[in-house]
Structure 1
Amino acid sequence: MQCPNQFLMLPTHHSLPLMNFPDFQTKSSSFCSWNRIPKIHHGPKAYHGFYVENASKKMLPFPPKVKNITSTSNPFVKHCVKLRLSSSYRYLHGSVLVVGAILDRPIIECLLVLDNSHIPEEIDYPSVHIIRVNSVVMSKLSGVQSNDSVHVIALVRFPTTFHVASDNLLEEDCRKWFSFPHRILVLDGIQDPGNLGTLLRSATAFRWGGVLLLPGCCDPFNEKALRAGRGASFQIQIITGNWTHIETLRKEFQMKMLAGHPSISDKLNPVLKLSKELADSLAELPLCLVLGSEGTGLSETSKSSCELVSIPMAGEFESLNVSVAGGIFMYMLQPENHVTI
């Protein structure tokens, strides 16, 4: 098991404006905390419109110089904890709490460092707001009880590589979703954050062009997804959308549609076997690979819209964990030559 305090440096992305944080110099904070936020679900409509517009309205300059926080009742601490726990709150504010990982400076809003802990040399002091916290506050912020396991927490903005596709998006705009749409991973109802994070990590490692999340997937900025992905949520291009967006993408780039499926054949849609020969025959073709959840598998739309492909296995096993299967699929189908278009 990897220590969550291990530092991770990620590529630079353009940043969003700074968000609204508490004014620590006053007893009555100028920070407006939303105590009642409607429950929303991950999907193309979930974080569009109302939430995005209100997040932009709440963007204000960073608070005055604050160097230490010693109380868990501090409004900024409560704000950070809510960012870690609440998906809707994260999307409302456009910020993520990353425990134990250092991301590139342009998207860092604030760095919370445990008292007497070393500040990484990569951090530029003038441009990064650093706040020292004690072990009690650090435990509250991280959700980890061991004081020795987490020394640094970064409050970061959503990366520009993340986009929520709107229902009224024009077809030609799909070219802006992915810089390299030769290999796109589509996740269909992946609810387990550990599996989703691992799949994002594998897609990044095997140079896939991006990931499209269908409705029912968990939040890619969920703390468990971030931990499993080791920062992949900030590196690979991620789009949330639905099958209308996939169809737009397919038509625009003439993409072949594949879906991972157990080896049990469907009379209406026979299952191909993953092999080097199959991978070689698809090497020059842009494609989408759809993976379904372990519990319910592929949706009917996914099964009817794709050619089904299985991983040959010995013994009586019919399927693998989706993150394991996804890693095998993405390795076999990875682009041989990565060229940015």
Structure 2
Amino acid sequence: DMVRHVTSLQHELVKHLIKLRQNHDYRVDHQSLIIDGIKPITELGRSLKPKVIVAWDETLIPEGINADDVVIVNESVMKKISGMATPEGLLAEIPMPKPSSFKDKRYIVALDKVGDPGNVGTIIRTALALGWEGVFVLDESCDPFNEKALRAARGATFRLPLAWGSWNDLKKIIQDNKLDGVVADLEGSKLQDVKFKNGICLVLSNEAQGASKEAKKLCQPVTIDMAGDMESLNVAVAGGILMHALKSGF
């Protein structure tokens, strides 16, 4: 592997990597994204060979991880690329994963206009932890490869099948897989009063606007019976409670 040194903040590669971190359209155009930190790069680098590895010291590059391009940088360049005040000193540009097939999946979560990257990442991480089989990101939600979403997901983004698309795409999955659509909604039936016969597609919506009309057309609205008000919970917490309840059969 070729090793080169970059010390200028104005270098083309530096600008390219910053844009990948900050800009959704740029990531899509280049079909790649940035991951940060020794653990994620060790876990991922074997399946998704990095295009570029950036380190402030070659000894940080994990055993068995290779890239076409290895770049050694100083601290100011690393901070600028990573956007972190205290970076770990290793990052990589990797190919963007292709959307997964949801064929035969029985438990999927769909994100409807969930704009906050922290919530998107937390929902992905929670879905993985609770044994759900995939997350479908509807068009107006935050990109799961947004840097804050990636950080909140702590690696789950690459371990759980993800796909993205329109309501029509989701509708087709629900029909093909014979899933019951469920949407979190304050006006909905109490969860314990609803009987589910099939697998489940749980739609989680932007808190402020509540469930969208598309979601209500496709899904049975449900609410969680609790001492306080479900409204006071953010979408990631409410989503976690619903995922647990739906999967464990209360």
Q: Same fold (TM over 0.5)?
A: yes
Specify which structure has the higher proportion of helix: 2
Bigger shift: residues 136-145 or 108-117? 108-117
2:132 corresponds to: 208
CA-CA distance at 1:304 after TM superposition: 2.8
What is the CA deviation profile of residues 62-93 of structure 1, one whole-angstrom value per residue up to 9, with x for unaligned ones? xx823322211111111111100111000000
Decide which of 56, 62, 83 is 2:20's aligned counterpart.
83
CA contact (8 A) 2:180 2:199 kept: yes
Aligned residue identity for 2:70: I
RMSD: 2.3
Decide which of 64, 78, 93 is 1:155's aligned counterpart.
93
CA contact (8 A) 1:180 1:209 kept: no
- SS of structure 1 residue aligned to 2:231: coil
Structure 1 residue 244 and structure 2 residue 168: aligned?
Answer: yes
CA contact (8 A) 1:117 1:151 kept: no
CA-CA distance at 1:209 after TM superposition: 1.8
Q: How does 1:162-181 map to 2 (within 5 A)?
A: 162=99, 177-181=101-105
Aligned residue identity for 2:51: E
Quick one: structure 1 residues 92 and 198, their matched pair in 2 at CA, closer, same or farther if it must change by over 3 Å? Answer: same
- SS of structure 1 residue aligned to 2:18: helix
CA contact (8 A) 1:189 1:292 kept: yes
Structure 1 residue 228 and structure 2 residue 152: aligned?
Answer: yes
Aligned length: 244
CA-CA distance at 1:325 after TM superposition: 0.8
2:79 corresponds to: 139
- SS of structure 2 residue aligned to 1:97: strand
- SS of structure 2 residue aligned to 1:329: helix
1:339 corresponds to: none
CA-CA distance at 1:334 after TM superposition: 2.7
Decide which of 52, 56, 62 is 1:114's aligned counterpart.
56
| Matches of 2:9 and 2:121, distance apart in 1 | 29
Q: Percent identity?
A: 38
1:6 corresponds to: none
Quick one: structure 1 residues 335 and 236, their matched pair in 2 at CA, closer, same or farther if it must change by over 3 Å? Answer: farther
| Matches of 1:298 and 1:69, distance apart in 2 | 48
2:212 corresponds to: 299
| Matches of 1:124 and 1:220, distance apart in 2 | 24
1:104 corresponds to: 45
Decide which of 180, 186, 199 is 2:110's aligned counterpart.
186
CA-CA distance at 1:328 after TM superposition: 1.1
Q: Which has the larger radius of gyration?
A: 1
1:124 corresponds to: 65
Specify which structure has the higher proportion of strand: 2
What is the CA deviation profile of residues 149-175 of structure 1, one whole-angstrom value per residue up to 9, with x for unaligned ones? 422112111113x26xxxxxxxxxxxx
| Matches of 2:33 and 2:242, distance apart in 1 | 30
| Matches of 1:117 and 1:89, distance apart in 2 | 30
| Matches of 1:316 and 1:292, distance apart in 2 | 16
| Matches of 2:230 and 2:104, distance apart in 1 | 35
CA-CA distance at 1:333 after TM superposition: 2.1
Gaps of 5+ in 1: 1-63, 164-176, 266-270, 337-341
1:68 corresponds to: 5
Gaps of 5+ in 2: none
Decide which of 100, 110, 123 is 1:199's aligned counterpart.
123
2:246 corresponds to: 333
- SS of structure 2 residue aligned to 1:315: coil
| Matches of 1:135 and 1:229, distance apart in 2 | 26
Decide which of 182, 186, 191 is 1:274's aligned counterpart.
191
- SS of structure 1 residue aligned to 2:47: helix
| Matches of 1:116 and 1:110, distance apart in 2 | 13
CA contact (8 A) 2:20 2:27 kept: yes
Give the 4+ runs in structure 1 shifted more than 6 A: none
CA contact (8 A) 2:104 2:177 kept: no
CA-CA distance at 1:145 after TM superposition: 2.5
